[in-house]
Amino acid sequence: MKLIVGLGNPGPQYVPTRHNVGFRVVEKLAQKLGWRWSEERSRALLASGLLGTEKVILVKPLTYMNLSGEAVGALARWYRLSPQDILVVCDDLDLPVGRLRLRARGSTGGHNGLESIVHHLHSDQFPRLRVGIGRPANQRMSVIDYVLGTPPAAERSQLERAEDEAVAAIELVLTRGLETAMSLVNSDPEARQRKEEQRQRQQARRPPIQVGMVARLFPAHWRPLREEISFAHSCGFQWLQLRGSETGLSEQLLGEPFERLAAALQEARLACALEIPLALTELGTTPSGATLATALRANLPAIDSLPCPRVHFHLTTSPSSPQALLALEERLVPALQEAQALAAAHSPTFRLAIEQNEPAAGLFAQPDRCARLLQEVPGLGLVWDVNHTPREALQDYLALTPRMTLIHVSDTPLPELNYHLPLGRGTLDIEGYCEELLSRGFSGPAILEIGGTPRSSGFGHDSDEALRASAQRLRAAIGRAYARVRSRQLEAPGSKPN
């Protein structure tokens, strides 16, 4: 978790002043990310969400500039954050107008807001992003009048550009780390632009599919999540899928408090996905009466704390007839609309989806019924499991690629489905599937869902060796598929090579 603190003074009279540049930067970042200033805590306004895999809280202290530390210190204690997890954005008289400077620590330079924060954190070891406002050209003007004054139009234009650059600088800190961000932000603008263009070219050459694995937390062979985090990191996985329940994913099941596991996930650079499997009655609830929204709410502590930017339901049932199955699917439409509305309104944000089943499972097991559901529940995503898909339905499922948030990958000996074998043990054309997805613009996690419970044909096949080998096969398949897709794109009329 990170706090991004913009310094300024509350009140409409201070909005356009030089001293409020920190407020304006975090406001622009919130607007860009679609986050709302919906919470007030410790005399500060907060907006929060996910940036990449990082839970981020934007902060505007309401204590006035000179007492900023009272709010920041209280928030640091509430969220149990170290000074290194707090980035402060403020104005700087000693930098030319529009110049940025990013530092990991340092002196306050006489800035009252920074001095207050140092006092209340008992440390100056927090990053700070300074935005230059220059000094008054008229030496008779007091510093107070200058910083609380409104800049003229030309200067205001410079500050607006600097605020936009500061927003980009914060995103760099959160996605690429402080050291990398400092090397870019503190360089001259032309060099910074060249480096950013080079990074974008390199990024364009990387496949947009990230490889992940299911955490093996099954009762028959349970292990602490921390061990799975360590293993996933050693294999180069980027995602780890966890398993929720109608009563919520608990810290007890994972082996440690959410807070510690979130830190371990962040250190390993792993993002979390959460699957919520529910067996439903013909009423559309679990046997104990839980609705989809009830189950989703029960899992919110884990979704928020770890955090989990991808969440999906895996719904199963045992209907008495085809008519009962269709009736249940109709009944689940408003239930999924309610759950999707809950996800859309939640902060931090996460993407909600539903997993398609194999035909024998019945519920949402045909591409046309999945397509109808997605049409009736705008915003809901689809988790596509290649292991659940018969050959004759492949193209119809691929047509739903724009709504896919995540894919499950394992092998099966077609026409037999749902074996959950390591890659290479069945007959699925994984590379061909990846090429089809990439050509349709899919970007997201591909989770190796190998093995599982004793009911699965892959039970016992999810050894460390099998997962490592499958990960290597999947990365190679994605790489070859992406190379062909990019080659066709570059050969297309009017295309521009990166």
Residues tagged active-site: 19
CA 241: distance to chain centroid?
Answer: 13
- Could you tell me the two tokens for 126? 């927090």
Those residues whose C-beta lies under 8 Å from the C-beta of residue 407, and which sit 6 or more positions away, are 383, 384, 385, 386, 437, 442, 444, 445, 446, 447
How many separate helices (H) and strands (E) can be counted in the chain?
16, 15
- CB burial string 6-15: b at 16+ within 10 A, e below: bbbbbeeebe
- In whole angstroms, give the CA distance from residue 381 to residue 355: 9
Those residues whose C-beta lies under 8 Å from the C-beta of residue 131, and which sit 6 or more positions away, are 21, 22, 25, 89, 90, 91, 92, 95, 98, 99, 100, 159, 162, 163, 166
Residues β-bridged to residue 278: 315
The answer to whether the beta carbons of residues 162 and 100 sit under 8 Å apart is yes
- Could you tell me the two tokens for 9? 């003074």
351: nearest Cα among 303, 290, 396, 298? 303
- Could you tell me the two tokens for 37? 């200033």
The answer to whether the beta carbons of residues 495 and 486 sit under 8 Å apart is no
DSSP 8-state code for residue 458: T
